Amino acid sequence: MKTNKGCAWGERGRILTAKDFPSVVSHGSSRFSDRANPVASVGAVLEPRELLTACLSQEGTGFSPGASQVVGWPPIRAYRMNSLVNQAKSQRAEEEKEIDETDKSKDPSKKKIYTKTDTAAKEKGQLGFVKVNMDGVPIGRKVDLNAHSCYDTLAQMLEDMFFRSTTTVNSRGGEKEQATQPSKLLDSSSEFVLTYEDKEGDWMLVGDVPWGMFLTSVKRLRIMRTSEANGLGTRFQERNERQRIKPI
Amino acid sequence: MNHKRKNPDPSPDSDESTTQLSSPFPDEVLERVLSLLNSRKDRNSVSLVCKDWYDAERWSRTHVFIGNCYSVSPEILTRRFPNIRSVTLKGKPRFSDFDLVPPKWGAYVHSWLLLFATKYHFLEELRLKRMTVSDESLKFLALSFPNFKALSLLSCDGFSTDGLASITTHCKNLTELDIQENDIDDKSGKWLSCFPENFMSLEVLNFANLNSDVNFEALERLVSRCKSLKVLKVNENMTLEQLHRLLVLAPHLRELGTGSLLQELMPRQHSELKSAFNNCKNLNILSGFYEVTSIFLPVLYPACTNLTFLNLSYAALRSDELSNLLIHCPLLQRLWVQDSVEDEGLEAVGSNCPLLEELRVFPASDPFEDEILHGVTETGFLAVSYGCKKLHYVLYFCRQMTNAAVATIVQNCPDFTHFRLCIMNPRQPDYQTNEPMDEAFGAVVKTCTKLRRLAVSGLLTDLTFEYIGKYAKNLETLSVAFAGSSDWGMECVLKGCPKLRKLEIRDCPFGNAALLSSFRKYESMRSLWMSGCKVTMDGCRLLAQEMPRLNVEVIRECGNDGCQADKLYGQERMPHLLFSLFELCTNLETLSVAFAGSSDWGMECVLKGCPKLRKLEIRDCPFGNAALLSSFRKYESMRSLWMSGCKVTMDGCRLLAQEMPRLNVEVIRECGNDGCQADKLYVYRSVAGPRKDAPPFVLTL
């Protein structure tokens, strides 16, 4: 069983570390001690043992996500976090408004309307951040849906988040190598699909409904293996025919 | 109406001059004296003196604080304390504030209310933090306690504004309604209109974190009726015009939370508002603000003379705006700001607030944005420490810090009791020296002998924890994230820190060795939380076995509906017999098995038989290490083996990998579906035993 590109998952999957398999690694580590960054040794085809040592996650430098990409970090209460986000947005919008209008409106009612829009945004902002999990990745992420206005930018962002390094680990243990770089999450030809859980608790494929409608009903996202996504509902299926996900 | 305490029978030959063996005071005197005690630590000490004192204390206690709702049961509580009027209950682990605990975890208040309704019929106050409260519970509360006066909810979830309406409708004696930051279904502001027209007793009203509009006329009438109103915190939608009208009606307010200050005002309105604020001579606490304009802020200045607490954490003030405001707040003791004020703003704090005791600096902009972020640095913190010698509580979010700065800060302010530093990028070193931040926190614990609460961040090795364990003699709460190098770090903390009560850890390389190094320690602690660490199920099970009085819970959560696997354990399994048949399947190449089998034997049969077996895929069967290792040479003739949701452990996998170096043995640690990985561990002590309301994704060991 060979895998390409070393420990593409080393930063996220915590799939294997030398510490998990000490006996196997003991004679292997010296060979790789001079490798500055095992993850950077892209292109080398590694033997199984090499895979293990390459995944040495050096404590302190192994996994350094940006602050933005880890669930629950920085440690700010969700309520406050959403308020801050909306405040930043509204202040930006306010600035833009000032730039646009040379003549600042003196009508207080307009400001009030503006405030109300902000409130509406805040209500939606309660939903602004949703969690995203990807099959096989223990650490979930968060993405701010209010920062996007269409599916494409969202999918792009998620691809950047989760597929920055190529993944090839074949979880089925078979010999055949899976395709490396998954293409667009919205494209049904890739290894993964983007799904979401709606307010009723059903898992749906992302992309079928207008963006605004999606925003009002999405609770959280999941990047699911295509193989497991059979039978997922779309908004246009009859409710009666809706199937639950069957993982196999 | 107190429950009367029965006097114990006097001993046969006692009279008042020979009470050698029993208490020197009559019980009533003792109770009277003890009823003057308010501190719960004092009361706990008193109750340990002797049985008489224990009894006197329990009869005289009227307020009870329960830091972990699962540490004790309602029955045990009501049995011990018959005369409780006020209850404070805390539920979920603190990391639930940051979405680390799945919904429906527990901490339901309802079962408490049910018993309180009979045992504490005259309950007056209920303060809940991180509890799940339903609208039904709120309605039950409103209807069951005729004397109910004060409700405070912080970080709770599960309810809507309909529940609030029940309270305002039915609680005739309500004095306090304090709705802080909660996960509430904010349907409408109608709850405010449900106060009866003759209702007058309100003293505290806080709806700052509710966004729906309330009926202003109803609010105005309410405020004018409630002459004792001391605390009024309105929501963001309240206009300045409306605020003005309220202030005119209630100039005696001690605490005010404004609405958004981003409004245009006519000059007349401006001066009216300024005059209204001028009349608020009793204002100690000011909050709200939301959006502000520099033009508006001076309106507040007259009201700031007696301010002790200024909460600007929802307003992105600039440094000059803050500076000008602080000049008018000479008595300020507590200040919460956003880091939009930057280091200059904090310099102004240092210059203008000599009495400052507490400072909290929250990140202003969306921390998720890519734009260039300013915020505060070590410079601002230093400036505050030079000017505010009484500083003892700090919560500081920043993007850079140095060891030297922290060392200087604690030299300037050695009296820190709460030091919570959050360098927002995980594992970030000292930006000047590129070294870990070990020495910073070393300085904190060495210098600040009164330290009770500590939150660490930045790049930290085990050395930080060596320091903490060795020096932090009074530390009660420790929060750790993305830190440490090995088990040794956590071991140091558990072996040191004699007063440790709460330890919460996320994403650190601490494993079973650390968890089990001092398990007796957990008996003196309220709780331990570990998530994203290296603890396994076996380690957790061992802990549970060694310490039967601890509740050991493992949360198994995943992005998909991982609970499905758990729910299906109940399904019927294939009879044992069928597996034996596989021995006869001489041409079988691929076998897929799901939810079947009774023991290792089944898989062993397959491996020992089926000579042409190439692919074996198994999910959710009770096959463990014995099965896995029974015929490992077999795997050499196979393409692959997949086992998920089985009973194989990491040890078994390791053994296989050792024995068969030419095999790739991979373990996928996917949240939820891997039986070996204890992704989220929550351990706490309890006299109530394992809780009975654990959801399916919480595994109690």
First to last CA, chain A: 23
Q: Is A172 on the interface with B (CB under 8 A)?
A: yes
Which percentage of chain A shows pLDDT scores above 70?
35
| A contact residues 76-105, partner B, Cβ 8 Å cutoff | 76-81, 83-85, 87-91, 94
Mean pLDDT of chain B: 87
Q: Amino acid identity, residue B483?
A: A
| Cβ contact B183–A72 (<8 Å) | no
DSSP secondary structure string, A82-124?
Answer: HHHHHHHHHHHHHHHHHHH-SS----HHHHHHHHHHHHHHHHH
- Tell me how far apart the alpha carbons of residues B158 and A152 are, in angstroms, rounded to a whole number: 34
For chain A, helix, strand, coil in percent to 5 are 40, 10, 50
A14 CB near a chain B CB, below 8 Å? Answer: yes
Measure B517 CA to nearest chain A CA, in Å. 19
A123·B186 Cβ contact <8 A: yes
SS (H, E, C) A52-80: HHHCCCCCCCCCCCCHHHCCCCCCCCHHH
Say whether the ipTM exceeds 0.85.
no
CA-to-CA distance for B220 and B214, rounded, in angstroms? Answer: 11
Residue A64 predicted with pLDDT over 70: no
Q: What is the pLDDT of residues B210-220, one digit of tens each?
A: 989 999 999 99
Higher pLDDT, A149 or B186: B186
**Mean per-residue pLDDT of chain A:** 56
Structure-model confidence comparison of residues B21 and B343, the more confident one: B343
- Identify the top-confidence range among A17-31, A182-196, B125-139: B125-139
Please list the alpha-helical segments (H only) found in B228-377.
240-249, 267-278, 319-326, 342-352
pLDDT at B303: 92
Lowest mean pLDDT among A65-74, A110-119, A205-214, B241-250: A110-119
Q: Compute the average pLDDT of residues B375-391.
A: 96
What distances in angstroms separate CA B477 from CA A23, B424, B528, one per listed residue? 38, 20, 10
Assess whether pLDDT exceeds 60 at residue A127: no
Q: CB–CB of A122 and B664 under 8 A? A: no
Distance from CA of A236 to the nearest CA of B (A): 22
pLDDT value for B687: 84
Q: Does B251 score more than 70 pLDDT? A: yes
pLDDT of B445 reads: 98
Q: What is the mean pLDDT of residues B16-36?
A: 69
- For residue A70, give the nearest of B426, B558, B594 by CB distance: B426
Reported as a pLDDT band with limits 50, 70 and 90, residue B296 is: confident
Q: Hey, what long-range contacts does B299-303 have (CB within 8 A, 24 or more apart)? A: B299/B270, B299/B273, B299/B274, B300/B325, B300/B328, B301/B277, B301/B325, B301/B328, B302/B274, B302/B277, B302/B278, B302/B328, B303/B256, B303/B277, B303/B278
pLDDT given at position B571: 24
Rounded CA separation A19/B454 (Å): 30
Please, what is the angle between helix B378-387 and helix B403-412, to 10°?
Answer: 10
**Whether A76 and B617 lie within 8 Å, measured CB to CB:** no
Say whether pLDDT at A9 is over 50. no
CA distance A174 to B10: 83
CB pair distance less than 8 Å for A88 and B366: yes
Least confident of B228-242, B495-509, B634-648: B634-648
B313, B426, B650 member nearest A67 (Cβ): B426
Is A131 in contact with B99 (Cβ distance < 8 A)?
yes
- CA–CA distance, B229 with B253 (Å, rounded to integer): 7
The beta-carbon neighbor of A78 closest among B99, B509, B670 is: B99
Ranked by mean pLDDT, the top range of A39-53, A86-100, B540-554, B682-696 is: B540-554
Interface contact flag, B263 A80, Cβ < 8 Å: no
Distance CA B509, CA A57 (A): 10
**Confidence grade of residue B680 (pLDDT, cut at 50, 70, 90):** confident
Mean pLDDT, residues B39-58 taken together: 91
- Beta-bridge mates of residue B310: B286, B335
Arithmetic mean of pLDDT, B20-30: 69
Task: Give mean pLDDT, residues A96-114.
Answer: 42
Say whether B566 sits in a helix, a strand or coil.
Answer: helix
Name the nearest CA neighbour of B420 among B479, B350, B481.
B479
Q: Range with the lowest mean pLDDT among B326-330, B527-531, B631-635?
A: B631-635
pLDDT band per the 50, 70, 90 thresholds, residue B295? confident
Say whether B488 sits in a helix, a strand or coil.
Answer: helix
What is the spatial distance between Cα A114 and Cα A111, in angstroms, rounded to a whole number? 5
Mean predicted confidence (pLDDT) in B308-322: 93
Return the pLDDT at B683: 73
* Averaged pLDDT, B473-485: 97
Q: Kindly state the tokens that stand for A117.
A: 């829009």
pLDDT at B339 over 50: yes
Q: Say how far apart CA B441 and CA B438 lie, in whole Å.
A: 6
Separation of alpha carbons B17 and B1, rounded Å: 33
Is A119's pLDDT higher than 50? no
The residues near B20 (Cβ < 8 Å, ≥ 6 apart) are none
Q: What is the pLDDT of residue A37?
A: 33
User: In whole angstroms, what is the distance from residue B421 CA to residue A75 CA?
Assistant: 11
Q: pLDDT at residue A236 above 50?
A: no
Nearest to A74 among B186, B424, B486 (CB): B424
**Pairing assessment for the beta strands B640-644 and B615-619 based on DSSP bridges:** parallel
Beta strands at A218-225 and B86-90: parallel, antiparallel or unpaired: unpaired
**Partners of residue A174 in chain B, C-beta under 8 Å:** 615, 639-640
A206 confidence band (pLDDT: 50, 70, 90): confident
CA–CA distances in Å: residue A204 to residues A135, A229, B155, B229, B409: 16, 9, 30, 50, 53
How does pLDDT run across B411-439, given as a tens digit for each residue?
Answer: 999 999 999 999 999 999 999 999 999 99
- Which band of pLDDT confidence, cut at 50, 70 and 90, is reported for residue B263? confident
In Å, how far is B430's CA from the nearest CA of chain A?
13
Phi then psi dihedrals of residue B502, to 5 deg:
-125, 130
Among candidates B98, B262, B565 on the partner chain, residue whose Cβ is nearest the Cβ of A111: B262
Instruction: Check CB contact under 8 Å for B427 and A60.
Output: yes
Given a cut of 80, whether residue B310 has pLDDT beyond it is yes
B80: burial class by Cβ within 10 Å (0-12, 13-18, 19+)? middle
- Tell whether the model's pLDDT for residue A60 goes beyond 90: no
* Residue of A3, A46, A52, A79 to mutate when probing chain B, most B C-beta within 10 A: A79
Q: Does A212 touch chain B (CB under 8 A)?
A: no
Whether residues A115 and B662 touch (CB distance < 8 A) is answered with no
